[in-house]
Structure 1
Amino acid sequence: MSYTVNSSILLTDLPINDRPQAVASAGFTRAEFWWPFPTPTPSEAEIQEFVAALKNAGVQLTGLNFYAGDMPGGERGVLSQPARSEEFRANINAVVKIAQATGCTAFNALYGNRLDGEDAAEQDRIGVENLQRAADAVAPLGGVVLLEPVSGTEAYPLKTAADALAIIEKVGRDNVKLLADFYHLAVNGDDVERVIEDHAADFGHIQIADNPGRNEPGTGELPLETWIDRSRELGYDGVIGLEYKASQEDPFAWLPCEKRA
């Protein structure tokens, strides 16, 4: 099984550009990141430093989030928000530059919270339009835009696989796919087994964390290994994103070294 380390939720004691080497030192060869810059339009130098950190560590970037606003402050994307739409559109160029430099082909586009005083239908119209723009921009690179149901933020409108798939259908692009984060789906009360049976072959990506706690696999009650195995039986052939919060000093102690690379 191939794993990729989400180096934005893990290894948070290190500066962003030190994390690829930490991933490699832990025995992994793949990493994914939330948007690693404070603005949607980083400088060329900032992009080059990030890319160099990956290359110097020998780590392949497998996934990258589009700019999602102030994540620590509770924002979960800007692409469906009328006043922030231009930020997302400007960010697309930076994402494409990183994709060209790293070979990354998976890009998570957090949809954005509902806003008081804004019409939900208008937010969805803008969201669909911006997802189309993103999908068209990464398509020449073999890129896939991922859409993710998220838990823990009431204002975020995509909470189940069905919610995300309804938007994906409106987008109408073959390279927009569901990101199946088993933790988020389970916490939101979705029928994860049913989602796997119906859609595993079309998953754009899988991410895992256990529940309760959103910690390492094996610390909670979710049958993550069973869900992963069944997804593979049904046609999912991608990597598994380790997107959990470390509950112990060694966040990878649960996974034998020989299974990490």
Structure 2
Amino acid sequence: MGFADQRFNVNLSILFTELPLLERPAAAAEAGFTAVELWWPWVDSPTPERPGLDALKQAIEDAGVQLTGLNFYAGQLPGPDRGALSIPGVESERFRANIDVAADFAGALGCKALNALYGNRVDGVDPTEQDALALENLALAARAADRIGAVLLIETLNKPESPRYPLVTAPAGIAVVDKVNEATGLGNAKFLMDLYHLSMNGEDLSSIIERYTARTGHVQIADNPGRGAPGTGTLPLEDLLDQLAKAGYEGWVGLEYKPGDRPSAESFDWLPHEARAARGNPQT
């Protein structure tokens, strides 16, 4: 086994960002990839105008790539925010306004995974109040995802880079997955296993794979240290992905790394060109 046996997609919100948004799907296709994912592309608007939505949909379709993952509105990302759904007031309202917009856009492109970042802790607000709001909003998001046959992803980040984000361990993320599934009865909330973030927290990646693969809906990778391409750090990513496959994971592996000082298209030299086109029908 190895990298050539995985199904990779390219995150167009961290790679190919040297290009305008509408040019990135074609650039990924030119680099040999057939699948892409995105954070919410309209940082300042949870409800962009129809022409903007249509233009991105057309760019993805024209490039001949499959959209396999999309974030719900998450505030300023990249930037200081780490989601909006647990923040009382305007940000939570913006998240709710985005739910059907994001789900409809994903559904129109056959995208089967929607990621909902939890949001930072807020000074002066009781964490239990934030958690109750989060569960309410995540249940709404799970129902919208179910409407289009998609899973709802719950992601843990890392404490050094996101000190106010409360989900910074795999068990914390899994606990929220369980609460959402219990609240909705749908069973479509899944864990987003980001090996970079988990490694930054010092977690035992092999143990996490062994314990949580069956509850994982998506995997993302970057090397550590540096959040660069595989081979730029010290993580045994090829071995970890082999372990995931042996544990039964058949879904997408998102490339969510920084290309460094070189153009994004030059950051894929670790992956043979013939291995970049996804084969078969992954679960998500």
Out of 99, 104, 116, which is 1:97 matched to?
104
1:17 corresponds to 2:16:
no
Out of 76, 81, 96, which is 1:75 matched to?
81
Range that drifts further, 64-73 or 27-36: 64-73
- SS at the partner of 2:54? helix
Out of 121, 141, 150, which is 1:114 matched to?
121
Q: Shift of residue 58 of structure 1?
A: 0.3
> Percentage identity across aligned positions?
51
- SS at the partner of 1:180? strand
1:158-169 correspondence runs (5 A): 158-169=167-178
Output the amino acid matched with 1:124.
Answer: D
Q: Deviations over 1:234-259 (max 9, x none)?
A: 11110110000002331212111011
Q: Deviations over 1:59-105 (max 9, x none)?
A: 10000011100123310100011112111111011112212210001
For 1:253, the equivalent position in structure 2 comes to 269
Q: Deviations over 1:40-72 (max 9, x none)?
A: 001111110010000000010000011100123
> In structure 1, how many angstroms separate the alpha carbons of the residues matched to 2:18 and 2:113?
25
For 1:4, the equivalent position in structure 2 comes to 9
> In structure 1, how many angstroms separate the alpha carbons of the residues matched to 2:252 and 2:172?
23
> In structure 1, how many angstroms separate the alpha carbons of the residues matched to 2:195 and 2:78?
22
Question: TM-score normalized by structure 1?
Answer: 0.98
Q: Which sections of structure 1, spanning at least 5 residues, go unmatched?
A: none
- SS at the partner of 1:132? helix
Q: Shift of residue 138 of structure 1?
A: 1.4
Q: Is the 8 A contact 1:106 1:144 kept in 2?
A: yes
Range that drifts further, 248-257 or 141-150: 248-257
1:206-245 correspondence runs (5 A): 206-245=219-258
Q: Shift of residue 201 of structure 1?
A: 2.0
> In structure 1, how many angstroms separate the alpha carbons of the residues matched to 2:106 and 2:224?
32
1:155 corresponds to 2:164:
yes
Q: Is the 8 A contact 1:79 1:111 kept in 2?
A: yes
- SS at the partner of 1:82? coil
- SS at the partner of 2:119? coil
Q: Shift of residue 140 of structure 1?
A: 2.4
> In structure 2, how many angstroms separate the alpha carbons of the residues matched to 1:32 and 1:121?
32
> In structure 2, how many angstroms separate the alpha carbons of the residues matched to 1:98 and 1:92?
10
> In structure 1, how many angstroms separate the alpha carbons of the residues matched to 2:86 and 2:105?
23
> In structure 2, how many angstroms separate the alpha carbons of the residues matched to 1:100 and 1:155?
32
Which runs of at least 4 in structure 1 moved beyond 3 Å after TM superposition? none
Output the amino acid matched with 1:12.
Answer: T
1:182 corresponds to 2:195:
yes
Counting matched residue pairs gives 261
> In structure 2, how many angstroms separate the alpha carbons of the residues matched to 1:57 and 1:12?
16
Out of 182, 193, 200, which is 2:213 matched to?
200
Q: Which sections of structure 2, spanning at least 5 residues, go unmatched?
A: 1-5, 278-284
Which structure has more relative contact order (CA 8 Å, sep 6+)? It is 2
Question: TM-score normalized by structure 2?
Answer: 0.90
> In structure 1, how many angstroms separate the alpha carbons of the residues matched to 2:169 and 2:205?
9
Q: Is the 8 A contact 1:182 1:207 kept in 2?
A: yes
- SS at the partner of 1:94? helix
Out of 132, 139, 146, which is 2:139 matched to?
132
> In structure 2, how many angstroms separate the alpha carbons of the residues matched to 1:113 and 1:142?
28
1:55 corresponds to 2:61:
yes
Range that drifts further, 17-26 or 134-143: 134-143
Q: Shift of residue 166 of structure 1?
A: 1.2
